[in-house]
A and B are shown apart, each in its own frame.
Chain A
Amino acid sequence: MSIEGRISVDATFHDKSGDEALNVVSLSASREYLTGKVAVVTGTVGASNQIIQTQPSAYRDAAGSLVSFNNTNIIAFTCSSNAILTEVSGQGYSRAFANTPVVLHSEAGGIDGFYIRTNSGTATYTAVMYGD
């Protein structure tokens, strides 16, 4: 079974003062993915590190086949509270504010998965992983 998808980031800022030159700051990119593997992981996490497994994993595709990643190149992550996302085997780490997603590129390919934890308390999270 194959997949199709996209990851888009669009950031735009502009001045609101009408009597000065308008500065517009923008960064946008939309990339299509026509091959690869995708898994979504949802759950509850506390202040202790929890591992999102990527190799092997228990995730299954629509046909019921296991989705196990050789590399996990991108992970998009959101959490209901402030949280930290870290590559187990790499240097990549990122923070997410409540319900505001982050997009992290995995330098090490996420072969040992990712740690997640909150700053304090428990929260629910969603992580979408893309790789091969």
Chain B
Amino acid sequence: MTLDGRVNVDVLFHDVNGTSAIKVVTLNNSQEFPDGKVAVITGTAGTAGITFGSIGQTTYRNAAGQAVLMDSVERVIFTWSGDFQRAIYDYGDNQFYMQSVGGVPAVTCYPAFIPAIEMSAGVGTGTYKIILCEKFNP
């Protein structure tokens, strides 16, 4: 089974005071994923941390019911709905540490390793979503 997908990042700010020159600050990118593998991890967390373990050995399954085993991960997207910041990080090779709060996602790239992922302990409860993408070859 094959897949298709995209990851878009769009950042735009501008002045709202019309009496001076308007500065426009932008950063945007749309990346297509015509192949590879994707896994999504979702759940609800309290104040305790969560260990997801190595994503090289997963129980995730695709639409055909086949296990989705990843050789490497090149892109991670994370969002946390809680009012206080929460982090996920690679406790194996220490390759990334990313935070989210209030549903605002964080996006990172990863140099083709198999991360072992934990979510930090924190204040309050919330829901999380983590998307892991393999075979991202810019």
Instruction: Say whether A associates with B.
Output: yes
Interfacial residues, chain A to chain B (CB-CB below 8 A): 1-17, 20-23, 25, 27, 29, 31, 33, 38-40, 61-63, 74, 76, 78, 82, 91-107, 119, 126, 128, 130
Complex Cα distance A74/B11, Å? 11
> Which residues on A sit within 8 Å (CB–CB) of B95?
95
Identify the interface centre among B5, B7, B107: most chain A CB within 10 Å of its CB: B107
Q: Find out whether the CB atom of A95 lies under 8 angstroms from the CB atom of B106.
A: no
A91→B11 CA distance, assembly (Å): 23
Interface size on B, residues (CB 8 A): 62
A20-B1 in contact (CB<8A): yes
- Residues from chain B with a CB closer than 8 A to the CB of A61 are 15, 23
- Asked if B105 lies at the interface with its beta carbon under 8 angstroms from chain A, I say yes
Taking a contact as CB atoms under 8 Å apart, the answer to whether B7 and A16 are in contact is: no
- Contacting residues, chain B, for A16 (C-beta < 8 A): 1-4
Is A103 a contact of B106 with CB atoms below 8 Å? Answer: yes
Residue of B nearest to A23 (CB): B63
A103 CA to B110 CA, complexed, in Å: 13
CB-based contact B87/A91 at 8 Å: yes
**Is the beta-carbon distance between B97 and A97 smaller than 8 angstroms?**
no
Closest chain-B Cβ to A37's Cβ sits at a distance in Å of 9
Contact call A23/B107, Cβ cutoff below 8 A? no
Return the chain A residue nearest B7 by Cβ. Answer: A11
Q: 10 tightest A-B contacts by CB?
A: A5-B13, A13-B5, A23-B63, A105-B99, A10-B8, A8-B10, A94-B108, A38-B13, A62-B23, A9-B105
Q: How far is the CA of A39 from the CA of B9 in the complex (A)?
A: 17
9 intermolecular pairs with C-beta atoms under 8 Å apart: A3-B15, A12-B6, A14-B3, A16-B3, A16-B4, A61-B23, A62-B20, A74-B104, A95-B95
